[in-house]
Structure 1
Amino acid sequence: MHRVIPQLHKKYGNIVRTGPDEVSISDVEAIRAIYGPGSKYAKSDWYSVWQGTQPTDLFAERHIPTHAALKRNISRVYTMSSMTGMEKFVDNVISLFIKRMHENANTVIDLGNWLQLLAFDVIGEVSFSRSFGFVEAGKDDGMLNRIDRALASLAWVGQLPGIYWLDHYLKPFIGTHLDASLRHGTIRSYAEAEVKSRQGRDSDRSDILGHLFKVSADDPSALDENAITSVATANVFAGSDTTAITLRAIVYFLLQHPTCLQRLRSEMQQKKEDGSLSFPAPYSQLSAWPYLQACISEALRLYPAVGMALPRVVPEGGAELAGHYLPGGTIVGMNAWAVHRNSQIYGADVDWYRPERWLDASRKGNMERCFLAFGGGARLCIGKNISLMEISKVIPILFDKFDMELVTPGKPLKETCAWFVRQEGLIVRLRPRKYA
């Protein structure tokens, strides 16, 4: 879908019918109406499959007032100031990751897999005050495969949410495509066990669970145990995939564009020479590096983690979108892969990785206004700050300590779109930099 939808918009224009009562829109003027602050466009029934029978789920909740109340009680935990308090624990995971990379130096490795293990361990540290130990072991415990299967199932079944109740009966005939119980069963149980473990483990860390426990203690009606478990499930389910996808994309693009990599390394060298860089570098410094942040934004533009539309329902009374009247109840969605390739916003070279476009102050504001890599408005991805902090810290140290090259430089990465667009095949030859 992430490749087909942009092609359809290129052929047919800003509005394309993709189902009996569903359209895809790429007109950037519709972003504010559909996703902006105060939007009355509720999430569609597609999300009901993700919520299952759980009464509270921040990601999947479709009732706008209920979501707003839930987010008020949770969002403070995910602010950048809260994330800064957890930064040293992220640094610990990254330091171990770099150590493991040195141990695997002068060999060929699946860097994409290692980045996934890193991202999952970071989620463990910021959520539960403990790493899952995947980087240390060099492998996971089977959870990553279960998450992949759940994603494939939920994305598939969500297209026809009315058949969700047939899950148990149809599974023997069409296999794991309908195994939506993974998210609501296996993965939720995994997260629930971590929540209980964290409750019984004293910690002076200001991790996400610790913050949520305090909110719940102050007002149990605002955030009950079920809601806390739902947040933990979302962190486990989505927290590592999104960041790992972006890390893979940045590494791949930089290796494919050596002039961009050289400019990034020049920025790093300048920071070393003026004494403002030492590892682990604080995010407060890294967030102000123009070219590093441009490299990150450009990868997110060309390769947003979510490859499907963010479906919403036109409010009662209908609406005019992309030059067409759409009756109330119509499902509308915008796909970041299409919106981010709008040449009027991002330039004629929209298909090229060119971080320099983000250094143009006259255009940057408009590009950010049309940026959907983390969603938008009240439904903006709550984990955005965690992801950006981790990405900003990993990329500089990885390219400072190592030289690497793609084993098959002309071969594109294999992509699988099931809500997230996961890549496979980031196989690199890793060498320590002699002067790092």
Structure 2
Amino acid sequence: MAPLQASNTINLIYISGVLLVFYIIGASFYNVFLHPLRSYPGPLLWKMSRFARPLRLVRGDLPLYMRKLHDKYGPVVRIGPNELAFSDPQAWKDIYGHRHNGEQELPKYDGFYRAVDNIPRGIINAFREEHGFLRRQLSHGFSDRSMQLQEPIIGSYVDLLVRRMQEQCKDAATALNMREWLNWTTFDIIGDLGFGSSFGCLEDTEYHPWVKTVTNSVQQTSFLNALSTIGLKPLVRISLRVLKMAVTDQQRRVRAKLQQRIESGVERPDFIEGLIKQKEAGQLSFMQIATNASTLIVAGSETTATLLSGAMYLLTSHPDKLQKLAEEVRSSFKNDDEITLTSVGKLSYMLACLNESFRRYPPVPTGMPRQSPKGGAFILGKFVPEGTVVAVWQYAVNHDPNFWTEPYTFAPERFLGDAKYKDDKLDAMQPFGVGPRNCIGRNLAYAEMRLILARIIYNFDLELDESSRGWLENQKVYNLWDKPGLNIKVTPVVR
């Protein structure tokens, strides 16, 4: 019996293999020649299966490669059997904007926002009604009035940043890893605004364990997202079990800081206050608040630090632009006390520098995918069938020569009406998104970035260290940038 059983097993494996090959061939033929998206251009292998695109994601160059695909295939590229990428200002409105005349909003694509099904829903991936509820509770914390009340909190950490930098460089030029200093500052600020206390990064001049976990998880998260994309969610769950100790420790830290914030019983002008009141009213659970607090802290710190790092690299790589900005800042204020969240709003060249940094180095360079709703939708005037995954890829549209003059040139002047850049389509760049789910923290982020950059430039002369030449050009990028150290020579300004 044993030889017969072995023979049957071999035959079964052979038949299964043949059937699998026929299935792959049949599915590939359907995807290329019969699929509803067959008329859209794109790389053949990407049209055939879901396996080609994740390989680029794991390699760390997918958002950059998307620019090449748009150069070759045009404003709409089919990047998967059921996925389209867009590079056009109107696509922002068609995909993410407010819908009219009873049209359905394009929902977020769960395959991206929830790599595994048991991840709790928060402000980022909540369904429409829950999202609206959460946004209303959070909105007061991001209002103009709250920002004015938050100024002493934010300002105290920027003061500490300047003091710590002065201690490091004293009277001589010293190369500092500004990636670290900016990360420490933004995490301390957002930690205080979210949990009522900082992570102590600037105080200790080192990473808090929870912050270090977040900053070191860029590549791992991208890998898990790639597994989910090709239909291997069981492997994602296994990977998460392997990482369970780290995840559990992170959740424990979040819960402990949140519990401390709630038990303080103090009303503060932060963005968590509205959620706490809803817990007291029985509308939100403790875990729902913890999920949203954790999301907002990561979103409000990592992206801000990334943009500031990019701005400092681009400015120090273009000394003439840095000099012009330094002249604006130092001629506008007589001392540090005059540099506030409000007063930095008058620095027009600084705003142009930040906007150009957003364009050249978007903190979220990838596409934020939505899904065509029931009945389909029209995008760029063409019907997109129901269930199709669609997105505008930020790095690609930010460097599209159809919308930008000299797209790889760092030119803040394009945001100041310079005649050379009069044909630029400024609305092609949307770093905070558009529509009902745009970033709620836009105003806070701009004010915080202006304040931090203004205080640094007012107090220090900056020069890019030779060790960080090519910092941006040589970076890997997954769903977020995998930033190496950014070494900048810092010299105190003598007054």
Q: CA deviation at 1:370?
A: 2.9
Aligned to 1:227: 288
Evaluate the alpha carbon distance shift between residue 297 and residue 199 of structure 1 in structure 2; reply closer, same or farther with a 3 A threshold.
Answer: same
In structure 2, relative to structure 1, the CA distance for the partners of 1:71 and 1:252 (3 Å cut) is same
User: Is 1:341 aligned to residue 399 of structure 2?
Assistant: yes
* Partners of 1:294 and 1:355 within 8 A in 2: yes
Q: Which AA in structure 1 matches 2:282? A: P
Bigger CA drift: 374-383 or 63-72?
63-72
RMSD (Å), alpha carbons: 2.7
Contact kept in structure 2, 1:341 and 1:350, CA below 8 Å: yes
Contact 2:140 2:271 in 1 (8 A): no
Q: CA deviation at 1:110?
A: 1.0
Given the superposition, is the C-alpha separation of residues 393 and 367 from structure 1 closer, same or farther in structure 2, using an over 3 Å criterion?
farther
Are the aligned partners of 1:245 and 1:305 in contact in 2 as well (CA < 8 Å)?
yes
> Is 1:433 paired with 2:490?
no
Q: What is the match of residue 352 of structure 1?
A: 409
In structure 2, the CA distance between the partners of 1:187 and 1:19, relative to structure 1 (3 Å rule), is farther
Please point out which of 395, 418, 422 is paired with 2:478. 418
Q: CA offsets per residue over residues 1-27 of structure 1, 9 Å max, x none?
A: 221111211121111121221111112
- Structure 2's unaligned 5+ residue stretches are 1-61
8 Å Cα contact 2:375-2:385 kept in structure 1: yes
1:177-216 aligned within 5 A: 185-216=248-279
Q: Quote the residue 2:142 is aligned against.
A: 78
* Structure 1 residue 335 displacement after superposition: 0.9
Q: Cα offset for 1:31?
A: 1.3
**How many pairs were matched up?**
422
Q: Which has the larger radius of gyration?
A: 2
Report what 1:240 is aligned to.
Answer: 301
Residue 383 of structure 2 is aligned to residue 325 of structure 1: yes
Corresponding residue of 1:256: 317
Please give the alpha-carbon distance, in whole angstroms, between the structure 1 residues aligned to 2:422 and 2:182. Answer: 29
Q: Residues 153 and 180 of structure 1 are in contact (CA less than 8 Å); yes or no, is this contact kept in structure 2?
A: no
Structure 1 consecutive aligned stretches of length 4 or more whose deviation exceeds 4 Å:
178-184, 361-368
Corresponding position: 1:134 with 2:201: yes
Residues 326 and 184 (structure 1), Cα distance of their counterparts in 2 relative to 1, 3 Å cut: farther
Partner of 2:128: 64
1:290, distance to aligned residue in structure 2 (A): 0.9
Indicate the residue corresponding to 2:363 in structure 1.
305
* Partner Cα distance (1:163, 1:48) in 2: 15
Normalising by the residue count of structure 1, what TM-score does the alignment of the two structures yield? 0.88
Residue 160 of structure 1, CA deviation = 4.7
Query: Aligned in 2, Cα 1:410/1:199: closer, same or farther, shift over 3 Å?
Result: closer
> Would the alpha carbon gap of residues 365 and 78 (structure 1) be closer, same or farther in structure 2, given more than 3 Å must change?
farther
SS of the counterpart of 1:198?
helix
Letter paired with 2:481: V
Deviation at 1:111, TM superposition (A): 1.2
Aligned counterparts of 1:142 and 1:202: Cα–Cα separation in 2:
26
Asked if structure 2 preserves the Cα contact closer than 8 Å seen for 1:150 and 1:183, the reply is no
1:377 is the counterpart of 2:435 = yes
Unaligned runs of 5+ in 1: none
1:308 is paired with a residue whose SS is coil
- SS at structure 1 position matched to 2:475: strand
Provide, for residues 348-368 of structure 1, a one-character-per-residue CA deviation record: whole Å limited to 9, x for no partner: 122111111111199899855
